[in-house]
Structure 1
Amino acid sequence: MEHTTLYAEYAGRIEAALKALVAQGQLPADASFANVTLEPPRDPSHGDLATNAAMVLAKAAKTNPRALAELIVEKLAADPTVTSADIAGPGFINLRLDSSAWLGELSAIHDLGADYGRSEMGRGRRVNVEYVSANPTGPMHMGHCRGAVVGDALATLLEHAGHLVTREYYINDAGGQVDTLARSAHLRYREALGEDIGAIPEGLYPGDYLKPVGEYLASELGARFRDAPEEDWLPAFRAEAVEKMMDLIRSDLALLGIHHDVFASEAALHVAGKPEEAEEWLRAHDLVYDGVLEAPKGKAPPEDWEPVELPLFRSTKFGDDQDRPIKKSNGAWTYFGADLAYHMQKAAHADELIDIWGADHAGTVKRIKAAVTALSQGQGRTIPFDVKLVQMVQLMRAGEPVKMSKRSGNFITIADMVDEVGKDVVRFTMLTRKPEAQMEFDFAKVVEASKDNPVFYVQYAHARIRSTLRKAAEAGFAPSGDALDRLGDEEIALIRLAARFPREIEAAARAREPHRIAFYLYDLAAELHAFWNLGNDSPEKRFIVEQDAELTGARLFLGQAIGQVVRAGLAVLGVEAVESM
């Protein structure tokens, strides 16, 4: 069922007013409306909607903003649903709408149900979102959690805005860390065969999570690799250990409701010769050349430093501070070289790329962005590429930081966390701050039943509505849209906030910021709780007014719609809308 949301409807009416001014010669024919916005005013007392149209078009009209605003207001004031159009400050226009406009949007929320808030903004645009991509050397721990949730919520948000999304995980299975994993698995294999392995040697992974891998290898392979030289068993143990770790990682992510569409292997990338293909393509487009890196700046070069000719990518051409080697002096690919080939592979199947990285990777952002820009220009198309940096989360317990060390095997896994506080608490909490901001995750605070705990506050709003609808049904009342004109100013305030949901989806998708939906839901929950609390002092303000079935039906209709918006917003975040608490 199609519906033009209220904000889109009135944006269209403003555009119609501007086109009328063009037709009258008061605006030039080539005036661009691209920067004209329609927003809720920062102060609700100023009106329902605000536009900057006069501010951004005054120069083109060769007049001052207030003078142009007067012409626009004259057009808008003729609209029967606009009860007032006022000019504020240097030329902003504030509109007040008749209640019928908001009640019509309330009916639209009811009619569209789960589709309210969905958008065609993306118009089938293919977006590849790569997130998590942790080294396959152990279980998922809380160091991975925030990026995993941010990436997954962003993917769902973009889908709601009409994009075709591929969720991708890049398996770093070609570096030295997987050799270390294989050696650690071999040690556990020997242990499974009955050997007393003693303390885990320095440099190997000591966690007990490798014991099942060793036991599996022992049952499958017997004892033939126990005393064999490393070159005989390393490749097989590496492949088997990576596969088992990825099974564990998929299982851990599933506990958070996270599932990827594609698992791309770095090792497979090398086997397929993708880095060589990338180098050939880049050389053909004069984007890779053989050159000598400058000596390290700011200090005397190390004694063992010597100039070596290497294949260098022209990243300075795209804003980097120096050209970057794609191979080492021994002929092996640099991490950047392999990563460049990987992004080239992704770009062949997407219109846009988004990577979710830990903040410790900030130093590599510029060069990878340069590489993707080069690929875009060389292929004659624009491939927007965004890297979202996510800060680590500081875990707290009893007011004290919880220390983690993956190498020592002493860390809190995602499975531990979900088991203790639940998937919904973990997911919502990870989205209560901007990803680039520092965050503390306090085990006690995230399960508090208080206004200060956003996940509880929002879920409680939905549970409150559902409980009210159940009680109403038991008393013989049902939601009804027949007498919505009985709703007053407090109810209209709730509808105004609910009506912002579609534009919040689009704005959050455009900014690639799913946390905006969490912030919005908190505000909507606060408005719902505030309205609910009016009934504590004034029985006539309650959702169920037993002596007035007509008003009760209208308020239940409102509650049902608010619950639908909360449920849809939580779905974007991957959080359940609970029925009771």
Structure 2
Amino acid sequence: MPTHDIFAALRARVIDALGTLLPELPPESFARVQVEPPRDPAHGDMATNAALVVGKLAKQPPPKLATALAERLASLPEVESAAPAGPGFVNLRLREDFLRAQLPVVLGTGEHYGDGSAGAGKRIDVEYVSANPTGPMHVGHCRGAVVGDALANLLAKAGYEVTKEYYINDAGAQVLALAWAAYWRYLQALGTSLTEEEFAQSVPGGLQYRGEYLIPVGEALRERFGTTLAEPGGLPAGTSHWLETVRDFTVARMMESIRDDLAALGVAQDVFISEAQLVREGKLEQAEALLAAKGLIYRGVLEPPKGKTPEDWEPREQTLFRATQFGDEVDRPLRKSDGSGTYFANDIANHLHKLERGFAELVHVWGADHGGYVKRMQAAVAALSDRRVPLDVVLAQIVHVVKDGQPVRMSKRAGTYVTLRDLIDEVGRDAVRFTMLTRKADAQMEFDLNKVVEQSRDNPVFYVQYAHARCRSVLRSDNDPSPEVLTAAPLDQLNDPAELALIRRITAWPRTVEAAALAREPHRIAFFLHDLASDFHVLWNRGREDTTLRFIRAEEPEATRARLALVAATATVIRSGLAVMGVTPVEEMR
């Protein structure tokens, strides 16, 4: 019985068996039943927790129920053996002919193999990057960009309707600081006699952004506006004359640069939402009114911060959101002393905008330094949506870039940092994307510029790409037989343990997609591909030692065709996984 996802198929079989054994239980009693790979492959191909999660409802000891369930499952045509284990698990070993029969499914489905229905077509918004438009993309943004983009691809493969979103933080103090810096570059383009230090003395908070990337912006301002934004002689003019114009012009230029940087990384987001535009449209007031109507806004005084109280802290009445009703530690202020919205309030407006667009689920990818912000934002979304729409936050830890054993330093405000383009130019887009997914997002990682281009099995980028290149080399040597030809191959020729291990890995791909999507963990795809490549390389090396395992055997065309089917299926799944990661598979290694 060929099927697309053998784990889903066996889960359905397990639930059918439970229904027969426990007819008194309603179908919803089996919702938590899972069928997964066992932790130890020696225990079989699959394991189910069915007896553990249903035993209490059935008023039966889980081990007793597991024994009865195993007897039922052992009679299935797909199952070689079923055995109860531990406190109530059932381990399953599948028939080899059932496993081999999955290869035609892979070949017939192509790279869509692994496409799932876990998302059930639900609309989901994935917001990622959302860097302040104050400079070019740097390596600190890169990990979140890759994780977010791969996660969005993964969710789409798992059956969600995905929108990729960038939220432009263009309404805060940092953007005003950027405008002052761009204005300085504009004055320089006009030939001002002021020194940078003299100009900085007139800047509120000092001149914060000094990177050379603003020089072209200053020149563009001069070309667009001439001397109209400055006093005669290229001197500074009053802020009311230029600040808004320069801010908007500079943000637009920075966003053009950011879009270009993201495109170089292979990231193309669907929607760009401006914070400033939402504020102008009154979205903050709408959100505040909605929360007030629910009784979630009040005037009050917060307790002083825990630990050392700042010297300038003083109790004062504020407009507060009852975040504690939704799991946050404290209620949160929505208005500053000047009456404008807090950063948090503007974020609430952004999330109201998302909810108004009808998303059923929201996902954010943030830097790890935003970890303390998660609960308050989840509280706001729960309040706005009456707890109907979940917000998942994936935190991406910092990346330490090293070269020749030495750390590569970066400092955004000084303009002496490693840009995203630097990284791509150094090692290539595919290597950047793959490497950024070789660790769980919330684990710190070291990006070694030397190792990423190293051609060894210790470099997962090379290791996986080499497996695909080897597959393609084998298939080209036999004139690239079509899937139709390979599907008809006599697959019973595939009976070596190494061949069956590779088939088992291939058939785990749909389950991997679903599990990784639901866990919001795209790094699992990189791990899977590495394991798949390892299984393939093992078989390749076995063929060097044992001629009966070679893929091409001129004297045995039927055996060759069966092995080519296995090779083609392997290449197909590698391409399917690399597509999720946004990485281009290579045809040959150079």
TM-score (norm 1): 0.95
Alignment partner of 2:223 out of 219, 225, 234: 219
**Counterpart position of 1:61:** 58
Q: Give the match for residue 369 of structure 2.
A: 360
- Closer, same or farther: CA 370–485 of 1 in aligned 2, 3 Å: same
What is the 5 A alignment of 1:282-431? 282-299=291-308, 302=311, 304-349=312-357, 350-377=359-386, 382-431=388-437
2:285 to 276, 293, 296: 276
Aligned to 1:321, the other structure's residue is in SS state: coil
Give the 3-state SS of the residue equivalent to 1:147 in structure 2.
helix
What per-residue deviation string (whole Å, max 9, x for no partner) do you get for residues 174-207 of structure 1?
A: 1111111111111111222233664464523111
1:161 is matched with which residue: 155, 158, 164?
Answer: 158
CA distance in 2, matches of 1:295, 1:38: 50
Q: Distance in 1 between matches of 2:213 and 2:273?
A: 23
Contact kept in structure 2, 1:187 and 1:197, CA below 8 Å:
no
What displacement does 1:7 show?
A: 1.5
Residue deviations 1:376-402, cap 9 Å, x none?
21xxx6101111111110111111111
1:481 is displaced (CA, Å) by 3.0
Q: Contact 1:314/1:324 (CA < 8 Å) preserved in 2?
A: yes
1:185 aligned partner, one-letter code: A
Asked if residue 171 in structure 1 is aligned to residue 168 in structure 2, the reply is yes
Where has structure 1 moved over 6 Å in runs of 4 or more?
474-478
Could you tell me which residue of structure 1 aligns to residue 128 of structure 2?
131
Structure 1 residue 544 displacement after superposition:
0.7
Residue in 1 aligned with 2:570?
562
Q: Helix, strand or coil: the match of 2:564?
A: helix
1 CA distance for matches of 2:582 and 2:193?
A: 46
State the one-letter code of the partner of 1:223: T
User: Which residue of the partner structure matches residue 16 of structure 2?
Assistant: 16
- For residues 27-86 of structure 1, give each alpha carbon's deviation from its aligned partner in whole angstroms, at most 9, with x where no partner exists: 645771122111122222222221122222222232322221221122122223322112
CA distance in 2, matches of 1:30, 1:12: 12
Residue 478 (structure 2) pairs with residue 472 (structure 1): yes
Q: In the alignment, which residue of structure 2 is the partner of 1:487?
A: 494
Q: Which moved more, 1:251-260 or 1:358-367?
A: 358-367
Deviation at 1:4, TM superposition (A): 4.0
Matched residue SS, 2:90: strand
Q: Structure 1 stretch 427-436 or stretch 195-204: which is displaced more? A: 195-204
- The Cα offsets for residues 10-32 of structure 1, whole Å up to 9 and x where unpaired, read as 11111111111124xxx645771
Query: How much has 1:282 moved relative to structure 2?
Result: 1.1
- The letter for the 2-side match of 1:458 is V
Supply the distance in 1 between the matched residues of 2:255 and 2:344 (Cα, whole angstroms): 23
Tell me: CA distance 1:30–1:476, structure 2 relative to 1, closer, same or farther (3 Å): closer
Unaligned runs of 5+ in 1: none
* Residue in structure 1 matched with residue 547 of structure 2 by the alignment: 539
* CA RMSD after TM alignment: 1.9
**Conserved 8 A contact 1:480-1:556:** no
Q: Does 1:508 align with 2:505?
A: no
Contact 2:129 2:365 in 1 (8 A): yes
SS in 1 for 2:551: coil
CA distance in 1, matches of 2:481, 2:584: 27
Letter in 1 for 2:210: P
Please say if residues 5 and 105 of structure 1, whose CA atoms lie closer than 8 Å, have aligned partners that are also in contact. no
Tell me, yes or no, if the aligned pair for 2:134 and 2:178 is still in contact at 8 Å. Answer: yes
Structure 1 residues 226, 472: CA separation in 2 closer, same or farther (over 3 Å shift)? same
Q: CA deviation at 1:293?
A: 2.2
The match for 2:469 is 463
Aligned pair 1:110/2:90, yes or no? Answer: no
Moved more, 325-334 or 476-485: 476-485
Quote the Cα distance in structure 2 between the aligned partners of 1:571 and 1:30: 36
Partner of 1:206: 210
**Superposition deviation, residue 327 in structure 1:** 0.3
Distance 1:207 1:297 in 2: 37
The residue type paired with residue 367 of structure 2 is: G
Which amino acid letter does the alignment assign opposite residue 258 of structure 1? V
Instruction: Report the counterpart of residue 234 of structure 2 in structure 1.
Output: none
Query: CA offset at residue 93 of structure 1?
Result: 1.5
Q: Are positions 1:573 and 2:581 aligned together?
A: yes
Tell me the TM-score normalized by structure 2.
0.94
Deviation at 1:91, TM superposition (A): 2.9
How far the C-alpha of 1:224 sits from its partner, in A, is 2.2
Structure 1 CA distance, aligned partners of 2:40 and 2:322? 50
Determine which of 508, 526, 533 is the counterpart of 2:534: 526
Q: Which moved more, 1:279-288 or 1:474-483?
A: 474-483
The aligned amino acid for 1:528 is F
Name the CA distance, whole Å, in 2 between partners of 1:510 and 1:12: 19
Q: Which residue, out of 549, 554, 576, partners 2:557?
A: 549
Matches of 1:547 and 1:301 in 2, distance apart?
Answer: 83
- Decide which moves more: 215-224 or 406-415: 215-224
CA distance 1:268–1:14, shift in 2 (3 Å): same
Task: Work out the CA distance in 2 between the residues paired with 1:454 and 1:441.
Answer: 13
Q: 1:5 — aligned with what?
A: 5
SS at match of 1:432: coil
Amino acid at match of 2:536: L
- Tell me: CA distance 1:347–1:221, structure 2 relative to 1, closer, same or farther (3 Å): same
The alpha carbon displacement at 1:550 in A equals: 0.7
The 5 Å alignment of 1:5-154 reads: 5-23=5-23, 28-29=25-26, 32-154=29-151
- 2:478 and 2:252 map into 1 onto residues whose CA distance is 54
2-side partners of 1:64 and 1:337: how far apart? 52
Alpha-carbon distance change, 548 to 30 in structure 1, aligned in 2, over 3 angstroms: closer
Residue 3 of structure 1, CA deviation: 4.8
In 2, Cα distance between equivalents of 1:551 and 1:52: 39
8 Å contact 1:481–1:557 — kept in the other structure? no
- Structure 1, residues 457-478: CA drift from partner, whole Å, max 9, x if none? 1111111100111112299997
Distance 2:380 2:52 in 1: 39
Partner of 1:32, secondary structure, is helix
Question: For 1:520-545, what per-residue CA distance to the aligned partner results, in whole angstroms no more than 9, with x for missing partners?
Answer: 11100000000100011112211111
317-326 or 522-531, larger mean C-alpha shift: 317-326
Specify whether residues 471 and 177 from structure 1 end up closer, same or farther in structure 2 by C-alpha distance, changes over 3 A only.
Answer: same
Q: What is the CA distance between 1:301 and its match in structure 2?
A: 6.5
Q: 1:83 to 1:307 in 2, by over 3 A?
A: closer
Kindly tell me: are residues 144 and 474 of structure 1, through their superposed partners in 2, closer, same or farther at Cα, counting changes over 3 Å? closer
- The answer on whether the counterparts of 1:480 and 1:553 sit within 8 Å (CA) in structure 2 is no
